[in-house]
Amino acid sequence: MKIIRISITIVLISMANLLFAGDGMWLPLLLKALNEGEMQSMGMKLTAEDIYSVNQGSLKDAIAHFGGFCTSEVISDQGLLLTNHHCGYGQIQSHSTLENNLLKDGFWAQSQDEELANPGLFARFIVRMDDVTDKILAGVTKDMDEKERQSVVDKNIEEYKGTLRLKEFHDVIIRPFYHGNQYFSFQTVTFNDVRLVGTPPESIGKFGADTDNWEWPRHTGDFSLFRIYAGPNNEPAEYAEENVPYKPKHFLPISLDGVEEGDFTMIFGFPGRTNQYLPASAVEQIVETLNPAKIEIREKALAILDEKMRADEEVRIQYASKFARIANYWKKWIGESQGLVKTKAIDKKKRFEEEFKMKNRSNPSNVSLLPQMDQLYKANESYAFTRDYFSEVASRNIELLSVSSILGRLVNRYENNGEDAYNGYLGRVKGYLKGFYKDYRPDIDQEVFAALTEMYVKNVNPMYVPDELKNIKGTKGFQMLASNLYGNSFISNEDKMMELLDLEPTAAIEKLKMDPAYMLSSAWSSMIDEKVNKPYNENKAQLDELQRKYMQAIIETFPEKRFYPDANSTMRVSYGQVNGYKPKDGVCYTPVTYLDGVIEKYVPGDYEFDVHPKLIELHESKDYGQYADTNGQVPVCFLGSNHTTGGNSGSPAIDAHGNLIGLNFDRVWEGTMSDINYDKSICRNIMVDARFVLFIIDKFAGASHLIEEMELVHPKGE
């Protein structure tokens, strides 16, 4: 039986009749068929071909996946690359020492030979993308089970890749879309010599830190500058001093004319993951069970860290970045749950499902997909809950246990792959541990351990509690356990641990296996693997199959609607407008913030809201040059209704003509549920205004040589 091919490109209905819903992360190569008309009706002056073309330079040639986790864009003909400060954070930190603290003071290379190399960092462009569904699903039939289907798909992918003759640094990535109903291939070219050019100090690049994270009004200059270097003939090459700046096929000119409410905006980048097509039952589970568990655990851990950080400046420095990481998603999940409730996402999904069932009343196999999914989500609930609970407690928040599990991997290398594999991995583990202990306080971690293991035992089904924790009673009991464990473990002590790793592998492993933290970690995780992950994954495989069929059925049931594929770290375009929003009754946010607002938030000496004296001076003298808005102020951030998610950080905000107007770096808190249920009324992305970026480079840093290599334009003729 031949499978039914869904062709979304045939859904070429009259778009003008559709009200723009605002959401969507669209595939650049399908814009012509699906979006061009609508984008132009919203004010865009470009064609789909200007955005994505295989034959000539187009916007896509200026967009690079930055290290695989963020987006970046080329803004000069010499490979100058713009991304967020929080995307370049690891590199900026790695070049920082106490004496030469780039995080604190910022950094501006005065010439190209001062630009700093970053081993391991890459910038990856998309050369072309193609619909390869027919090739990848060839031989797949409806009656195959999931295993068979996957093995045919895997074989087809291998075969297809084998037919391509790729040059060095070129690759092809094949990804499933619409939950496995379609496959697209992406030919990429990767540059491995990407150097740091400039960064503002943290007081600008991270202004407002965790307090302002996910919030509007925002005043963060979240940007940093890198440069792509190439070898001979402008081809990618490994780092070499003699490499030269890359000449891009396209770079983005930068608009000096700024934005007004209602202006067309487009975000071009690599969004990571969304879940737009979950059934109501799955959303309900997220709101009622999974998010609350994760939030509760992080809240506890953050409270402990916060208290310690406030009491001791050294601890604050050691834990600032860990705290930020834990707080980021803690805050996101709270906003997400609240937003899902506020926008009645579950009811909305239920109504959609009723309509789906109605329209499919003569197709019982489609109708049955929903109850089947509901039942499986229910069956998987306690596994999903325990999985999340375990991972938050043992892998993400108790440092001793997460390090133990890395050591567990080292032991596995030895036992499964032998001594060479062990020795190969050992160097990496030692390198990791060196960085780890620098910022590690066993006394603080011990407190986190006691509090979180107590929560685990209280909230998780006793079936999934490891023996070591079973008979512990009361807060005191957990504190005693923690004190014993941390007192007796090698792992919580840097010197003992490093000494242990210098032993012969067999002796080291023997000692490790006697370590109480190691023993707890390995017993706990093998129990979870066996009793939780195994059944969870079996259910998950069935759910994936149902979700694929449901996706296909949705598309066939509503041929008049356009559906965009969930984000999967591939290149996408979102579009919308510059727009404020009303977060709640009586409150109305305007879409642009100004430097005046930075000064309003200024708290001298504060680690989140301090302001650099130079910036205060520029504000006082109103020395804004060509970067002020029509009201005479320098804009800092602005809001848009573009659909974005994690991974879109660093994405360019592009105007109607293809010029850079800003840099995406966050979403508003009330709208973080857009990963599951986008709602035009409160989902907004947050961008740094391009003029603020230029103002900081030029007026604050005095790096006018960088401004000179850019192309500044006046598309509005202002």
Residues that bind ligand ARG (CB under 6 A): 86, 209-210, 213-214, 324, 328, 646, 649, 666
Q: Which does 209 bind (CB under 5 to 8 A by kind): ligand ARG, ligand GLU, none?
A: ligand ARG
Q: Are strands 581-584 and 652-654 parallel, antiparallel or unpaired?
A: unpaired
Q: How far is the CB of 667 from ligand ARG (least distance, A)?
A: 7
Contact 638, 259 (CB under 8 A): yes
Q: Which does 47 bind (CB under 5 to 8 A by kind): ligand ARG, ligand GLU, none?
A: none
Chosen residue from 648, 668, 692, 701 binding ligand GLU by CB under 6 A: 648
Task: In whole angstroms, give the CA distance from residue 155 to residue 105.
Answer: 52
In the complex with ligand ARG, the residue whose CB is nearer, 333 or 425, is 333
In the complex with ligand GLU, the residue whose CB is nearer, 446 or 644, is 644
Q: Which residue among the candidates 222, 263, 445, 515 is catalytic per the annotation?
A: 222
Q: Which does 210 bind (CB under 5 to 8 A by kind): ligand GLU, ligand ARG, none?
A: ligand ARG
Task: In whole angstroms, give the CA distance from residue 479 to residue 105.
Answer: 41
Q: How far is the CB of 649 from ligand ARG (least distance, A)?
A: 5
Nearest to 26 by CA among 558, 548, 656, 575: 575
Q: Is 175 helix (H, G, I), strand (E, B) or coil?
A: strand
* Contact stretch for ligand GLU (CB under 6 A) within 8-16, 169-177, 644-652, 709-717: 644-652
User: Does residue 646 interact with ligand GLU by CB under 6 A?
Assistant: yes
In the complex with ligand GLU, the residue whose CB is nearer, 212 or 666, is 666
One DSSP character per residue, 595-618 reads HHHHHHH--TT-TTT---HHHHHH
User: Does residue 576 interact with ligand GLU by CB under 6 A?
Assistant: no
Peptide bond into 217 cis (omega under 30): yes
User: Does residue 339 interact with ligand GLU by CB under 6 A?
Assistant: no
Q: For the chain, give me the number of helices (H) and strands (E)?
A: 28, 21
In the complex with ligand GLU, the residue whose CB is nearer, 203 or 644, is 644
| Token output for 496 | 């003992």
* Contact stretch for ligand GLU (CB under 6 A) within 75-83, 282-290, 463-471, 665-673: 665-673
| DSSP bridge partners of 685 | 640, 667
Chosen residue from 645, 689, 690, 699 binding ligand GLU by CB under 6 A: 645
Q: Which does 647 bind (CB under 5 to 8 A by kind): ligand GLU, ligand ARG, none?
A: ligand GLU
Q: Which does 645 bind (CB under 5 to 8 A by kind): ligand ARG, ligand GLU, none?
A: ligand GLU
Q: Which does 11 bind (CB under 5 to 8 A by kind): ligand GLU, ligand ARG, none?
A: none
Within 292-321, the residues that bind ligand GLU by CB under 6 A are: none
Is residue 705 part of the annotated active site? The answer reads no
Q: How far is the CB of 677 from ligand GLU (least distance, A)?
A: 15
Contact 696, 300 (CB under 8 A): no
| Token output for 230 | 């190439």
Distances 240 to 188, 192, 313, 387 between C-alpha atoms, Å:
22, 10, 40, 45
Q: Which residue among the candidates 255, 649, 651, 674 is catalytic per the annotation?
A: 649
In the complex with ligand ARG, the residue whose CB is nearer, 208 or 658, is 208
**What does the angle CA 287 – CA 289 – CA 293 come to, to the nearest 5 degrees?**
105
One DSSP character per residue, 632-701 reads SS-EEEEEE-----TT-TTPEEE-TTS-EEEEEEEE-GGGGGGGT---TTT--EEEEEHHHHHHIIIIIT
Residues 6+ apart with CB under 8 A from 90: none
Within 666-685, the residues that bind ligand GLU by CB under 6 A are: 666-667
* Contact stretch for ligand GLU (CB under 6 A) within 97-105, 380-388, 554-562, 664-672: 664-672
Tallying the residues shown for the chain, one arrives at: 718
Rounded CA Rg of the chain? 26
User: Does residue 665 interact with ligand GLU by CB under 6 A?
Assistant: yes
Site residue total, ligand GLU (CB under 6 A): 9
Contact 669, 208 (CB under 8 A): no
Task: In whole angstroms, give the CA distance from residue 121 to residue 646.
Answer: 19
Q: Which residue's Cβ lies closest to ligand GLU?
A: 649
Q: Which amino acid is located at 337 in the chain?
A: S
What kind and span of H or E run contains 224?
strand 224-230
Task: In whole angstroms, give the CA distance from residue 509 to residue 34.
Answer: 58
| Token output for 229 | 């270097």
Is residue 649 part of the annotated active site? The answer reads yes
In the complex with ligand GLU, the residue whose CB is nearer, 67 or 106, is 67
Residue carrying the six token digits 């800003």:
662
Q: Which does 644 bind (CB under 5 to 8 A by kind): ligand ARG, ligand GLU, none?
A: ligand GLU
Q: Which does 453 bind (CB under 5 to 8 A by kind): ligand GLU, ligand ARG, none?
A: none
Q: How far is the CB of 550 from ligand GLU (least distance, A)?
A: 26
What kind and span of H or E run contains 555?
helix 534-557
Q: Which does 115 bind (CB under 5 to 8 A by kind): ligand ARG, ligand GLU, none?
A: none
> Which residues are tagged catalytic?
86, 222, 649
- Site residues for ligand GLU per CB under 6 A: 644-649, 665-667
